[in-house]
Structure formats: structure tokens, C-alpha cells
């Protein structure tokens, strides 16, 4: 069998845990498991570590979620990115600029105000900002178009390639983790008290398996062991305006127009803007969705140009599309639906929640429970036929409903 990309002490292919998928979620899971004690772990990645949705993302990181799980995971994630930077002696890649979540009307304003209090109860500082105040604080936005916003100063963004680099480096350095690239998992079979995994790099055995396959793998990996996982892929796209900062380059606040379905942040000396077309449907094919939807871009352009007049007519420096993972309620999945087979999916928020999801998965695997996360927001059972309708995270992009 070929040597793993980081095999120092792992001379055979038997592991305590095999994490399938080397994206933000899988890598953080392996790292957090290693922090919690001895044992041999393998990360099996189809391509390169971090190359999936993780490095194609926009990197918005906020603890201003719409439910307890989203808030808690966002809060822990901000801490973990910083801690990792210190651990490896490199920059964390996280810049806190503050983040406005914009309310389109009075109804949204009332709901968003309540969220400020909920977040405070879960350790996330934030405030409600009236348009009159907003005009002074963030003049690039035409506040007359909004009913106000919530704001959290500690929210910010990561450069996704740097976030991917840092956690890959940490995993690569962990003596208890072997990272295998070009190791697509093609079959998973129970074998006594363990699992046999057929991969592009030969057979592996593991006592426990974590499915962290992301938008292009999580559901398919679950199907290999008969578990239905409602985490699917939809196209999502990002555009950058290279020379159009909306304040101090690199440091002006971020904004999320929830109802309009777009968000923006600083990117180098310009602005990055992400958007999702609610008319997209789940794409169950294998490749990442790379075609940028210019028709949708043009359809929504009048909205963001009216909101941020400085963007009107600005030249585009980059534009790309990729597959984002989504769940019906925009919330993550952290569970063990079959003994020894664990599922981890981000619900589309894997940069703002990924490190915390890895930590919570490690907690579940080592302690059998997860502090602070309500089961009805993270367990798979919430999607079972007949299950009572649960909460949705309202602070999310308008993902497809099909």
C-alpha cells in the first residue's frame, strides 16, 4: 500500500477512526480527536486536503446565527481558528471586521432584535443598530433601504485557502493522524465490530468511521451503509470587485442582506460578494458546479448596486461558482445513526461552524454527548418522517427547497 501523505508511525492500514473527507469538517474532527488522546486516526481524502467546498468558499465567519446551535458553533469556531494559529505559529487567517445582518422590514427587524438577546444568552456579544446610527457607522450602505441590522464586532472572515492550509498543516503534524490524499472511499462494509473501507489506495480497516464527505460526498457515503443523509449540493457563487473597497481596505464591516440573498466582505483591497439563487435545485451528480450563473448575477445586480452605490459598474476581478452543502433547515448534522458510523455535515456553514463541528464530533465520539447543542438542531432524527417540524436557521441563504 502506498505511504500516506503524513505517515510517520502508521505502518499498517488498521485505524481506530477513519475520517472520510479532508475538508474543513473532516480535518478539524481528526485534529480534535488527536487533542483528546491516543489512538490511530486516518483521514481519507479523494483529492487534496481542503480542495472541496472549503477552499472554494467565501470564508464568512459569524456567530450571529438564528438558532442556539448556530450561535454556539459560531462562537466556538472563532475561538478555534485563533487557537490554531497560535498552536502552529502562523497567522490564523481570521480578520474580525464586524458584521451587519440587515433586516429588510419591520417583521424581520423584530425577529432579528430577539436574536440579539438569544445570542447574548449563549455568550455572543452583539447589538441592534438603527438605520440612523448605521448611516454614521457604515456610510457605504444606503440604510434607507433597511429597517436596521444586528451587529457583532467579533465576526469576520477567514481567507479560505489559509484556513485550509492551517488545519491541513496541523493534521499533518499530528503524530496520531495519517492523512491520505487521492484515497477515494468507494465501499464501506461492516466487518464484525469494525468497518472495511475499499479505497483508491487499497483496503483500510477502522473501528469507527466519520462521514465528512461534504456537498459532494456526505450523502453518497451514507448510502453505502444504508443511511439517508439530507445534505445535498447546490450551486453557490461569489464575485470580487478588485478595486472597490466599501471603507478601509481589508477592514470595513461585512454585511448580509438575508432576504435579498447576498452577503459581502472585504477582499484584499476590494470587495467580495456571494449570492445564492433560490431557484437552484439539488444537484446529485458528482462534479463540482463550476459554471458561474451570469443571468442570476444580472438579475440581482440592481439590488446590491442600490444598497452599495460604490459597487455600481465596478469591474469584476474574479467570479466563480462551486457546490455548497445544504440541509432542509440550514442546520448541521452531527450524529451516529449506525453504531460506529458517524455523520458530520455543515448545512452550508462549514467555514463559520466547521472547527466547532469537528470539536463537537470529537466530543460525541469520546464522551457520547455534546454539551450546548440541542439534539433537535443537530441530530439526524429530526428529518425522520413524522418528526415534529423543528427550527430553521433563518440567518441563512435562500437555499433550494427541493
Ligand X SMILES: Cc1cc2nc3c(=O)[nH]c(=O)nc-3n(C[C@H](O)[C@H](O)[C@H](O)COP(=O)(O)OP(=O)(O)OC[C@H]3O[C@@H](n4cnc5c(N)ncnc54)[C@H](O)[C@@H]3O)c2cc1C
Residues within the interface to ligand X (CB under 6 A):
20-26, 44-47, 51-54, 56-60, 184-185, 212-217, 221, 236-238, 274, 322-325, 346, 348-352, 354
Closer residue to ligand X, CB minimum distance, 57 or 97: 57
Q: Which is nearer to ligand X, 109 or 325 (CB)?
A: 325
> Which residues contact residue 352 at a Cβ distance below 8 angstroms, ignoring those fewer than 6 apart?
60, 61, 62, 63, 73, 74, 77
DSSP secondary structure letter of residue 143: G
Give 213 or 400: the residue with its C-beta nearer to ligand X.
Answer: 213
Could you tell me if 229 and 344 are in contact, meaning their C-beta atoms sit under 8 angstroms apart?
no
CA dist 119 to 98, 116, 185, 374, 390, Å?
15, 5, 39, 15, 19
User: In the bound complex, what is the minimum distance in angstroms from residue 70's beta carbon to ligand X?
Assistant: 10
Residue 144 beta carbon to ligand X: minimum distance, rounded to whole angstroms: 27
Asked if residue 394 lies in contact with residue 111, where contact means CB atoms within 8 angstroms, the answer is yes
Total length of the chain:
402
CB of 214 vs ligand X, minimal distance in Å: 2
Q: Are 20 and 210 in contact (CB under 8 A)?
A: yes
What distance in Å separates the CA atoms of residue 202 and residue 204, rounded to the nearest whole number?
A: 7
Torsion of CA 110, 114, 116, 121, to 10 degrees: 180
Output the residue with the shortest Cβ distance to ligand X.
23
In this structure, how many other beta carbons lie within 10 angstroms of the beta carbon of residue 226? 9
Nearer to ligand X, 236 or 382 (CB): 236
Q: Which of 75, 81, 67 has the alpha carbon at shortest distance from 123?
A: 75
Sign of CA dihedral 22, 25, 27, 30: negative
Give, in degrees to the nearest 5, the angle at Cα 367 between 184 and 180: 20
CB of 107 to ligand X, least distance (A): 26
Pull the grid cell for residue 296. Answer: 442570476
Q: Which is nearer to ligand X, 131 or 266 (CB)?
A: 266
User: Of the two residues 140 and 334, which places its CB atom closer to ligand X in the complex?
Assistant: 334
Q: How far is the CB of 52 from ligand X (least distance, A)?
A: 2
Q: Which is nearer to ligand X, 58 or 80 (CB)?
A: 58
Q: How far apart are CA 53 and CA 308, in angstroms?
A: 28
**Separation of alpha carbons 342 and 361, rounded Å:** 8
Least distance to ligand X from the beta carbon of 103, Å?
20
Residue number with CB closer to ligand X (215 or 245): 215
In the complex, what is the shortest distance from the CB of residue 286 to ligand X, in angstroms, rounded to a whole number?
Answer: 9
- What 3-state DSSP class applies to 322? strand
Give backbone dihedrals phi and psi of 264, rounded to 5 degrees, phi first: -150, 160
DSSP run (H or E) holding 326? strand 318-326
CB of 307 to ligand X, least distance (A): 18
For the bound state, the minimum distance from the C-beta of residue 390 to ligand X, rounded and expressed in Å, comes to: 20
Identity of the residue, 109 or 149, whose beta carbon is nearer to ligand X in the bound complex:
149
Amino acid at each position: 500500500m502506498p505511504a500516506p501523505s503524513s505517515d510517520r508511525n502508521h505502518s499498517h492500514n488498521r485505524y481506530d477512526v477513519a475520517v472520510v473527507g479532508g475538508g474543513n469538517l473532516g480535518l478539524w474532527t481528526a485534529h480534535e480527536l488527536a487533542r483528546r488522546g491516543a489512538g490511530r486516526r486516518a483521514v481519507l481524502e479523494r483529492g487534496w486536503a481542503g480542495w472541496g467546498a472549503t477552499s472554494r468558499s467565501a470564508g464568512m465567519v459569524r456567530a450571529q446565527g438564528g438558532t442556539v446551535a448556530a450561535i454556539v458553533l459560531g462562537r466556538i469556531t472563532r475561538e478555534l481558528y485563533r487557537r490554531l494559529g497560535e498552536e502552529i505559529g502562523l497567522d490564523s487567517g481570521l480578520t474580525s471586521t464586524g458584521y451587519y445582518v440587515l433586516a429588510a422590514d419591520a417583521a424581520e427587524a423584530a425577529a432579528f432584535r430577539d436574536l440579539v438577546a438569544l445570542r447574548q444568552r449563549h455568550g455572543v456579544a452583539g447589538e441592534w443598530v438603527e438605520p440612523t446610527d448605521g448611516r454614521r457607522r457604515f456610510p457605504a450602505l444606503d440604510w434607507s433601504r433597511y429597517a436596521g441590522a444586528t451587529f457583532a464586532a467579533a465576526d469576520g472572515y477567514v481567507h479560505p485557502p489559509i484556513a485550509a492550509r492551517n488545519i491541513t498543516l496541523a493534521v499533518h503534524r499530528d503524530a496520531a493522524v495519517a492523512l491520505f490524499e487521492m484515497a477515494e472511499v468507494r465501499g464501506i462494509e461492516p466487518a464484525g465490530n469494525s468497518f472495511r473501507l475499499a479505497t483508491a489506495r487499497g483496503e483500510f480497516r477502522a473501528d469507527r468511521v466519520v462521514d465528512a464527505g461534504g456537498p459532494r460526498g456526505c450523502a453518497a457515503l451514507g448510502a453505502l451503509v444504508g443511511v439517508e443523509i439530507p445534505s445535498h449540493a447546490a450551486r453557490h457563487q461569489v464575485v470580487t470587485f478588485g478595486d472597490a473597497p466599501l471603507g478601509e481596505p481589508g477592514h470595513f464591516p461585512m454585511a448580509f442582506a438575508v432576504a435579498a440573498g447576498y452577503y459581502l466582505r472585504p477582499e484584499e483591497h476590494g470587495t467580495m460578494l456571494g449570492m445564492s439563487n433560490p431557484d437552484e435545485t439539488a444537484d446529485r451528480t458528482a462534479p463540482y458546479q463550476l459554471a458561474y450563473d451570469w443571468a442570476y448575477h444580472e438579475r440581482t445586480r440592481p439590488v446590491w448596486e442600490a444598497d452599495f452605490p460604490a459597487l455600481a459598474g465596478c469591474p469584476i476581478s474574479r467570479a466563480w461558482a462551486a457546490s455548497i452543502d445544504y440541509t432542509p433547515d440550514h442546520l448541521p448534522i452531527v450524529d451516529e445513526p449506525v453504531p460506529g458510523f458517524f455523520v458530520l455535515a455543515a448545512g452550508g456553514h462549514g467555514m463559520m461552524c466547521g472547527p466547532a463541528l469537528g470539536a463537537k464530533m470529537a466530543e460525541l465520539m469520546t464522551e457520547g454527548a455534546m454539551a450546548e447543542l440541542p439534539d433537535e438542531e443537530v441530530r439526524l432524527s429530526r428529518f425522520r418522517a413524522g418528526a415534529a417540524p423543528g427550527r430553521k436557521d433563518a440567518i441563512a441563504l435562500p437555499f433550494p427547497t427541493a
